């Protein structure tokens, strides 16, 4: 039946805003997030922030919602400054033939678009982008400008991830340049930009852990007057095990803690990493009784599988 094939012919022409003196949208995407289709319902849908706070998703709180979803393990966020993106002019698909007295082919209504995203730390995340290629059509993508965003929906716009790559430019005096990939969409018309974003809410610092105060020390004494901003602890008694507990403030899914010694000399004669361990899910650091005398620097990292992370450094003075 014809009704099974025909689409609405009633195209309402929206108003066109001209002479607008509001701040101009700058010509680059400066932040991005993607997540499994259906994780967020869209502007106007409800969302549970934290454990039990129901909110309605708006343009203004969308970055807050994405940060919350990221800490819950449900979104990958690349906030400002970590990416720079551009978009080619849309390709409007035309009907294949001219009919009657037509001088040019009509447009079919289908539009393809291509978004190019440069990622500063691409080379550190090659495995992530290798896997992203297999997520085409499964994920929603949100691209942010300085004051607006475009929501590329898996079901409506069919985003396909392609052309993942980075180059090493052959200059030992320069860091590795950004890698890039493309997002390709197909939909009925260009994807509109929605406005109302608060730029400060797109700061990459929002996606890092902060650290709680150090807990109860065992056989260690904090040295609060040490200079340089480094946390310093002295061992109270030699040949005795020590405990240094410290965790992140935030609640997140699947936090993993790890530790590494920073000041190992070239010969490795001061490598004491075998005597220092950390609880992978608690952040509690244990120094074995066999730790030799010396000054040892360490870094602790907390991270989640989807890229939320934070670190802190400390020094042990073992007599």
Domains in the chain: boundaries: 24-207, 220-318
Torsion sign (Cα): 62, 64, 68, 74: positive
Neighbours of 220 (CB within 10 A): 23
Q: What is 220-318's CATH number? A: 2.60.40.10
pLDDT per residue rounded down to tens, the chain (319 residues)? 555 555 555 566 676 666 666 678 889 999 999 999 999 999 999 999 999 999 999 999 999 999 999 999 999 999 999 999 999 999 988 888 777 777 787 877 789 999 999 999 999 999 999 999 999 999 999 999 999 999 999 999 999 999 999 999 999 999 999 999 999 999 988 999 999 999 999 999 999 999 999 999 999 999 887 656 789 999 988 888 999 999 999 999 999 999 999 999 988 889 999 999 999 999 999 999 999 999 999 999 999 999 999 999 999 999 8
Helix (H) or strand (E) holding 302: strand 294-303
Give the residue from 41, 17, 68 showing the smallest Cα distance to 151.
Answer: 41
81 prior amide bond cis, ω within 30: yes
Which residue in the block uniquely carries the two structure tokens 């690349």? 78
Strand partners, 119: 83, 179
pTM of the model: 0.87
Q: How far is CA 305 from the centre of its chain?
A: 11
């Amino acid at each position: 039946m014809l009704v099974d094939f025909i689409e609405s012919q009633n195209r309402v022409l929206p108003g066109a805003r001209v002479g607008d003196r509001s701040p101009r949208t700058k010509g680059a995407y400066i932040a991005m997030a993607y997540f499994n289709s259906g994780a967020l319902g869209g502007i106007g849908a409800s969302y549970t922030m934290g454990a039990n706070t129901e909110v309605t998703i708006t343009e203004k709180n969308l970055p807050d919602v994405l940060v919350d979803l990221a800490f819950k393990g449900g979104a990958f966020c690349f906030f400002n400054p970590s990416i720079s993106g551009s978009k080619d002019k849309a390709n409007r698909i035309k009907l294949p033939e001219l009919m009657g007295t037509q001088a040019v082919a009509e447009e079919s209504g289908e539009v393809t678009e291509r978004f190019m995203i440069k990622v500063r730390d691409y080379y550190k995340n090659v495995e992530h982008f290798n896997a992203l290629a297999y997520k085409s059509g499964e994920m929603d993508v949100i691209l942010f400008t300085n004051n607006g965003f475009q929501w590329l929906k898996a079901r409506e716009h069919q985003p396909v991830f392609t052309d993942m790559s980075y180059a090493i430019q052959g200059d030992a005096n320069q860091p590795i340049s950004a890698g890039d990939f493309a997002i390709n969409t197909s939909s009925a018309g260009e994807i509109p930009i929605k406005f109302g974003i608060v730029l400060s809410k797109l700061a990459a610092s929002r996606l890092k852990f902060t650290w709680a105060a150090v807990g109860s020390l065992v056989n260690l004494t904090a040295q609060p007057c040490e200079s340089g901003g480094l946390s310093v602890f002295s061992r109270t008694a030699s040949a005795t095990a020590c405990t240094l507990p410290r965790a992140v403030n935030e609640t997140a899914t699947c936090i993993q803690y790890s530790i590494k010694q920073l000041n190992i000399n070239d010969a490795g004669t001061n490598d004491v990493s075998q005597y220092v361990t950390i609880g992978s899910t608690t952040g509690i650091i244990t120094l074995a009784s066999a730790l030799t005398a010396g000054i040892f620097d360490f870094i602790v990292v907390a991270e989640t599988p989807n890229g939320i992370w934070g670190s802190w450094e400390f020094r042990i003075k073992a007599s």
